[in-house]
Amino acid sequence: MPRLRPLSTLALTLAMLTVSSFAGDWPQFRGPDSTGTAADAKIPDQPKIDWSAPLPGRGLSSPIVVAGKVFVTCSSGPKQERLHLICFHAADGARIWEREFLATGRTMTQQKTCVAACTPCSDGRRIFALWSSNDMASFDLDGNLLWVRGLTVDYPNASNSLGMASSPIVIGETVVTMIENDSESYSLGLDANTGRNMWKLDRPKAANWTSPIPWRADAKSPPVALLQSTKGLLAVDATSGSRLWEFAQGASTMSSSVVASGVIYTPANGVVALSPKASNAPPEELWHSKQINPNTISPVVLDGRLFSINGAGVVTAADTKTGGAQWKLRVAGPFSGSPVGAGSRLLVVNEKGLAQIVDITAPSGAIVGKLQLPLNEETKELVLCTPALEGSHIFVRSDSALWRLGE
Amino acid sequence: MRFILTRMKLFLSTLLFASMANLHGAANNALDALAAVGPEGTGNETAGAAWKEVVSAGPSAIPAVLAETGKGSAVADNWLRLAGGVIVEEALRAKQPLPLAEVEAFIADTTHAAAARRLAFDLLLQADQAKADALQPSLIQDPVQELRRGAVQRVIDTAKTQTADGAKGCYLRALDAVRDEDQTKLVTAELRKLGVPVDLPRHFGFLMKWHVIGPFDNTDRKGFEAVYPPEKEIRLDAAYDGKDQQVKWLPFESADEYGKLDFNKPFGLQKEATAYAVTTFDSPVERDAELRLGGKNAWKVWLNGALLFGRDEYHRGQQMDQYKLKCRLKKGANTILVKCCQNEQKENWTVEWEFQLRMCDSAGTAILSAKADAK
């Protein structure tokens, strides 16, 4: 277990409470603990569209689900300068509230992406939403504004002309966000109550679209934040921002790591499995497989296997103990969103809006169900988000609509 | 007579607006707290509660919200904007009346801050689209760039329904007002089809005539921070040690109608190189202005020897008006120096070593140099 700086009893209690209040929710990019899986979810083999709701703008951020509500970010306007957060009833897709404000940072992005690229996160009581313009706002579940920041106003060279995409996480009372780019590159720990800086870390000057993820040494330890970059993986104390340990052999700047049973699987010229030590020493490298190529996709661990999709649309199932490939299955791509899983099923939704359900218990994996989402062909609409799971429901969004899929 | 009545109406509306803004003293402290939000979230601790207080004041707080907008930072404006939006949403839901006449009067008064008038229009649109639609054509020459856009689009849409002569008139009217690049491209293309010439560098205010010098070294991207002689002195007859040889200032004029100054043309295809461009802009008066730059190389811009901004990002994308640098022009000759660095990347999408720069006001309206020729 890494040596942690002392936390106050209150902070520790809050951290534990926060993590335990998520049951059933999909509170951030790739769900609980950023794993892409939900223990209590079920992916239907033959999903149908339960409802759809129109969206006021573009987006590739994922929906999140908190306390029976779905939250989605969008951006609209001729320069994508209008930032939206919309709250829907998860049950029927009725719009409960919408908030809109203006970007204070740069809104230029590559054409395929847009300003609503970062998935919001929640601690079960509040929503923390970030956009590519580095505008960040927090609302309670009823839509009351708690705070708003314009991080490019504060740090004017923090931007990426291709667009930013890292999604924040919340650990205890700290919102951790990576504003990493070629120029003014940093990560921030923000006070979840006020949005004020708790810490600010200078980071490698290199474009980075990965997201922070939580990692904990064991069930009794508070989570720490893992920050991935071209240099590798850095573990920081979420409360103080102090450096705990580092894997300095380099890592992907596009696909994010995933944690299962305390082991970290980091995309790094393939995938490297890391086991942090009980000191601040660099983590032990368990294996490094170049057979697994996550490309821009973040991997997921299910049933003792690591699943990844390469640029050609091939799902690889690898043994988490060795990194050895067990089987490969071609699915219809291309993909921008990452796979998610529950039980014995893996769900992938390609850019063309085709949801594909894979039975991972089949000897070589098998597609057991498909659903084509009704995209707008006229606008060449794509689905670029990672889906969200809640119960037996799937939530997916495009530039114009949010769908709930069910049994 | 009509003029007098209109002015009286505006005066009375302004009086009513001012009195309403003052009526809600209870919420004034809360509004002050929102407007006072500062850098790095200072003031957020009190702003959260203040925001709820402002929202709970309901529609009567709208004039005060607008009056406060634009007085603080852009982030403070977002606190106020979010309050205004929620007040309107809740009033619509509760079928409460909103002070829309006052909001319309506020939009009509161009002495109000740009952010406040923009918010006022958005609230009007949210509350009553028909009223906003009726008002929009009057904004075609508005000093706020974003408020012009809808009015310009209407003229463009009208042009599409006209015969050639009618369309020509519409497009000329649109060209006079248009400031956004996408709409300007469309209007220009249509006018050129109709045989009407359009001088885009003049329309946008691109700086076309320069003197350039280089290449200086940018190995390991160190040229961005290195201080080469042009940053210490501007002497167009001087010669300096460059990257590989002695370098001198050369006159160079952009031939691109979007003002792109391509350093590969005078210096050949270079990598790990730094170059400078200098020009003189003659302003008949001291005034506020914006230098708007587009570029995909690392760059710095100085005005009269003072650094306005610099950015060390390479080959992530280029767009007109990518960066807006607010500045103050002095009366007479103003020296504009641009540093532009090319890095080591060899991919075919990293060949560009260029920038585009224009002088305009906050609405994007070109400001032209009083003297046509550069230094």
CATH classification at residue B289: 2.60.120.380
| pLDDT at position B157 over 50 | yes
Count of A-B CB contacts under 8 Å: 103
Give domain status of residue B370, yes or no: no
Instruction: Report d(CA B59, CA B67) in Å as an integer.
Output: 14
Owning domain of residue A147: 9-406
Determine the residue of chain A that is closest to B83 in CA distance: A145
Single out the residue of A174, A113, A201 nearest to residue A385, CA to CA. A113
Owning domain of residue B235: 204-360
**Is B85 in Cβ contact with A100 (below 8 Å)?**
yes
* pLDDT for res B309: 98
Same domain (yes/no): B94, B176 = no
| Residues forming beta bridges with residue B62, ordered by sequence position | none
Reported as a pLDDT band with limits 50, 70 and 90, residue B372 is low
Same domain (yes/no): B185, B241 = no
* pLDDT for res A221: 86
Which of A182, A186, A208, A209 should be substituted to probe chain B, the one whose Cβ sees the most B Cβ atoms within 10 Å? A182
User: Could you tell me the two tokens for B176?
Assistant: 């006079």
Give domain status of residue A123, yes or no: yes
ipTM score here?
A: 0.93
> Which residue among A97, A157, A161 places its CB closest to the CB of B317?
A161
| Residues forming beta bridges with residue B261, ordered by sequence position | B355
Same domain (yes/no): B186, B263 = no
* pLDDT for res B19: 44
Single out the residue of B128, B118, B45, B126 nearest to residue B87, CA to CA. B126
> Which residue among B39, B51, B296 places its CB closest to the CB of A145?
B51
Burial class of residue A317 in the structure, from the number of CB atoms within 10 Å of its CB (0-12 exposed, 13-18 middle, 19+ buried):
buried
**Is A150 in Cβ contact with B73 (below 8 Å)?**
yes
Give domain status of residue A4, yes or no: no
* pLDDT for res B8: 45
Give domain status of residue B324, yes or no: yes
Do the Cβ atoms of B289 and B364 come closer than 8 Å? Answer: no
Lowest mean pLDDT among A22-26, A168-172, B100-104, B232-236: A22-26
Same domain (yes/no): B217, B176 = no
**Which residues does chain B have within 8 Å of residue A108's beta carbon, measured at their own beta carbons?**
317, 319, 322
Shortest Cα–Cα distance, A135 to chain B (Å): 9
Same domain (yes/no): B30, B67 = yes
Q: Which amino acid is at A122?
A: S
Lowest mean pLDDT among A112-121, A275-284, A298-307: A275-284
Single out the residue of A338, A334, A361 nearest to residue A348, CA to CA. A338
**Which residues does chain B have within 8 Å of residue A154's beta carbon, measured at their own beta carbons?**
39-40
| pLDDT at position A163 over 50 | yes
Same domain (yes/no): B261, B328 = yes
pLDDT tens per residue, range A47-60: 999 999 999 999 99
Domain with A174 in it: what CATH number? 2.130.10.10
Express as a percent the part of chain B with pLDDT over 90: 91
Mean pLDDT of A256-266: 96
Hey, is the C-beta of A56 within 8 angstroms of any chain B C-beta?
no
Do the Cβ atoms of A52 and A93 come closer than 8 Å? Answer: yes
**Which residues does chain A have within 8 Å of residue B311's beta carbon, measured at their own beta carbons?**
157, 183
Rounded to the nearest angstrom, the gap between the alpha carbon of residue A65 and the centroid of all alpha carbons in its chain is 13
Return the SS3 of A217: coil
Hey, is the C-beta of A143 within 8 angstroms of any chain B C-beta?
yes
| pLDDT at position A5 over 50 | no
Give domain status of residue A112, yes or no: yes
Mean pLDDT of A313-333: 96
> Which residue among A78, A104, A183 places its CB closest to the CB of B78?
A104
Q: Which of residues 147-206 of B touch A (CB under 8 A)?
A: 149, 180, 182
| pLDDT at position A4 over 50 | no
Reported as a pLDDT band with limits 50, 70 and 90, residue B70 is very high
Number of domains comprising chain B:
3
Mean pLDDT of A320-331: 96
**Which residues does chain A have within 8 Å of residue B323's beta carbon, measured at their own beta carbons?**
106
Give domain status of residue A1, yes or no: no
Same domain (yes/no): B23, B69 = yes
Single out the residue of A37, A5, A32 nearest to residue A19, CA to CA. A32
DSSP string, A25-65: -B-STTSGGG-SB-TT----SS-EEEEEEE-SSB--SPPEE
Burial class of residue B15 in the structure, from the number of CB atoms within 10 Å of its CB (0-12 exposed, 13-18 middle, 19+ buried):
exposed
Reported as a pLDDT band with limits 50, 70 and 90, residue B25 is low
Same domain (yes/no): B57, B92 = yes
* pLDDT for res A277: 85
Same domain (yes/no): B180, B220 = no
Reported as a pLDDT band with limits 50, 70 and 90, residue B11 is very low
Cα distances (Å, whole numbers) of residue A236 to A4, A199, A246, A393, B308 = 9, 11, 9, 34, 35
| pLDDT at position A15 over 80 | no
User: Could you tell me the two tokens for B202?
Assistant: 């003049």
* pLDDT for res B349: 94
pLDDT tens per residue, range B229-238: 999 999 999 9
Same domain (yes/no): B355, B220 = yes
| pLDDT at position B130 over 90 | yes
pTM: 0.93
* pLDDT for res A336: 96
Number of domains comprising chain A:
1
Same domain (yes/no): B9, B94 = yes
Do the Cβ atoms of A19 and A223 come closer than 8 Å? Answer: yes
Rounded to the nearest angstrom, the gap between the alpha carbon of residue B375 and the centroid of all alpha carbons in its chain is 26
Reported as a pLDDT band with limits 50, 70 and 90, residue B209 is very high
Same domain (yes/no): B118, B191 = no
pLDDT tens per residue, range A182-204: 999 999 999 999 999 999 999 99
**Strand pairing of A186-191 and A197-202?**
antiparallel
**Strand pairing of B354-360 and B287-295?**
antiparallel
Shortest Cα–Cα distance, B235 to chain A (Å): 31
| pLDDT at position B6 over 80 | no
Q: Which residues contact A300 (CB under 8 A, 6 or more apart)?
A: A30, A35, A36, A37, A258, A306, A307, A308, A338, A339, A340, A341, A346
- Angular region, A261: left φ>0, alpha ψ -120 to 50, beta rest: left
**Which residues does chain A have within 8 Å of residue B186's beta carbon, measured at their own beta carbons?**
none
| pLDDT at position B183 over 60 | yes
